[in-house]
Structure 1
Amino acid sequence: MTDSATPNQASEGPILNALAQYIKDFSFENPNAPRSLTPQEKSPEISIQVNVGANQIGEEDYVVELTLEGKAAIGDDVLFAFELVYGGVFRLRNIPAEHIHPTVMIECPRLMFPFARQIIADAVRGGGFPPLFIDPIDFTALYRQKITELQAEQANATVS
C-alpha cells in the first residue's frame, strides 16, 4: 500500500518549530539569608508578573521572550526575588498572516513556559526554600487583555 500524499502535500499544513530555547537573563536573590531560611510564623505573599515580547528575525523566524519576575515576602521582608528572561527562536510555516501574531504571542510562550517554570523552581529550591511551581499561565487571556489595552490606548489617543 502506498501513501498518496507527497512530502510537499504533507508539509502544507501549519507548522510551528522551536529552533532554540535559552536563558537570556536570570537572577535570583536571597537578600536576608540566612535569617530568611528560619521557620516563619506566616506564609509568604508571592507575587509574579509575566510579560511576552517578540520580534521577527527572518522571513519565517521569530524570537520570543518570556519574562517572569517575582518575589516572596512577609510584610516588608523579602525572602527571595527572581527575574527570568527565557528566549526561544521559532519558525512558522504555512500559517495565514492573520494567525501569525496570536501564534507567536500565545503558542510560543505556552511551549516555553514549562522550561521557564522548572528553572525558577530549581533556583528557589537552591536558595533554600521549597520549590516554587508557578501555576499554568493562560497566555490566551493575557493576549486578549493586551489587545484590549492597546485598543483602549488607541481610542484615547484618537479622542485627545
Structure 2
Amino acid sequence: MAENQQDTAEATTGADAAPQVGIIAQYVKDLSFENPNAPHSLQNAAATQPRIEVNVNVGVRRMGEDAYEVDLRIEAIARQEAQKAFQVELLYSGLFALKNVPEEALEPFLLVEAPRMLFPFARRIIADSTRDGGFPPLLLDPIDFAALYLQQRQQQGPGADLTSGDVAGNA
C-alpha cells in the first residue's frame, strides 16, 4: 500500500512538471470603425473594388509569474480611388496561463501559437464591423504567424527578446 502511494506521488510530480497552457480570457481591448466619406463611399462601394491594406502586430506583456497577455492588433484601410472608404482597427487580446513551459519554447508559443488561437475571433470581429458599417464583410486571409515571427527574428538577431515588443507584418 505504501508503494502505491509513493508511485502516485511520483506520477503526480511528473504530471506537474509537464508543460501546461491555458487561455484564461480573451477580449476586445479597442475597436474602431471609421466611414469618413459616408454616404458617398457607400454609394460607390459596389461600383469599384477598393484597395485594402492590412497591418498586423503581435505584442506580449508578462502579467504575473505564469500569465502573459498577448495582443493581436489588426488595422485595415480600404481606399476607393483617392478617398478612404473605411478604416477598421482592432486590438484583441488573450490572457494565457503558462506553467512549466521551457524557456526556449516560451517566445515561439507567445508570438506564434497564441495569436494563431486568437485570430479566428479577431477575424470575425473585423468582418462583422465592416458589414455593420455598410460594406461587404472583410474576410481576412489566414495569417502565417510563424513566418512573421521568423522574419522578425532575422531582423532583430538571435539574442533579441521579441516578447517585450511587437512583431509586425503586412497581410
The normalised TM-score by structure 2 is 0.81
Q: How does 1:1-160 map to 2 (within 5 A)?
A: 6=11, 8-39=13-44, 40-151=46-157
Amino acid at match of 2:131: R
| CA displacement 1:102-137 (0-9 Å, x = unmatched) | 111111111111111111100000001111110111
Q: SS of the residue aligned with 2:157? A: helix
Matched pairs, number? 150
Higher relative contact order (CA 8 A, sep 6+): 2
State the shift of 1:76 in Å.
1.4
Give me the whole-angstrom Cα distance separating, in 2, the residues matched to 1:14 and 1:113: 23
Q: What 5-or-longer segments of structure 2 have no aligned partner?
A: 1-6, 161-171
Amino acid at match of 1:26: L
Q: What 5-or-longer segments of structure 1 have no aligned partner?
A: 155-160
State the shift of 1:55 in Å.
1.1
The normalised TM-score by structure 1 is 0.86
Give me the whole-angstrom Cα distance separating, in 1, the residues matched to 2:26 and 2:92: 7
Shift >6 Å, 4+ stretches: none
Give me the whole-angstrom Cα distance separating, in 2, the residues matched to 1:26 and 1:147: 29
Give me the whole-angstrom Cα distance separating, in 2, the residues matched to 1:11 and 1:18: 18
Give me the whole-angstrom Cα distance separating, in 1, the residues matched to 2:125 and 2:12: 38
Amino acid at match of 1:18: I
Give me the whole-angstrom Cα distance separating, in 2, the residues matched to 1:86 and 1:136: 16
Moved more, 6-15 or 117-126: 6-15
Amino acid at match of 2:77: K
State the shift of 1:22 in Å.
0.8
| CA displacement 1:62-113 (0-9 Å, x = unmatched) | 0111100111111211111011111111011121111101111111111111
Give me the whole-angstrom Cα distance separating, in 2, the residues matched to 1:17 and 1:115: 17
